[in-house]
Amino acid sequence: MEIAQNILLTIATAATPLLIAAMGELVVERSGVLNLGVEGMMVIGAVCGFAAAALTGSPWIGILAAIIAGALLSLLFAVLTLSLATNQVATGLSLTLLGIGLSGMIGEGFVGSPGVRLANIHIPGLADIPLVGRLLFGQDPIFYMSIALTAGVMWFLFRTRTGLTLRSVGDNHKSAHALGISVLGYRYAAVLFGGACAGLAGAHLSLVYTPQWVENMTAGRGWIALALVVFASWRPWRVLGGAYLFGAVTIGQLHAQALGFGIPSQLLSSLPYLATIVVLVIISGNRRLTVMNTPASLGQPFVPDR
The domains of the chain, with CATH numbers, are 2-293 (1.10.3470)
- Answer whether 202's CB lies under 8 Å from 41's CB: yes
Q: Which amino acid is at 187?
A: R
Q: What is the DSSP letter of 124?
A: T
- Angle (CA) 89-249-213 rounded to 5° is 65
- CA 96 to chain CA centroid, Å, is 14
CA distances from 271 to 13, 60, 230 (A): 18, 33, 19
pTM here is 0.92
Q: Which amino acid is at 6?
A: N
pLDDT in tens, the chain (306 residues): 677 778 888 889 999 999 999 999 999 999 999 999 999 999 999 999 999 999 999 999 999 999 999 999 999 999 999 999 999 999 999 999 999 999 999 999 898 888 899 999 888 878 778 777 788 888 999 999 999 999 999 999 999 999 999 999 999 999 999 999 999 999 999 999 999 999 999 999 999 998 999 998 998 899 999 989 988 889 999 899 989 988 888 787 776 666 666 667 667 677 777 877 887 777 777 667 666 778 999 999 998 875
- Angle (CA) 247-251-255 rounded to 5° is 165
- Answer whether 176's CB lies under 8 Å from 300's CB: no
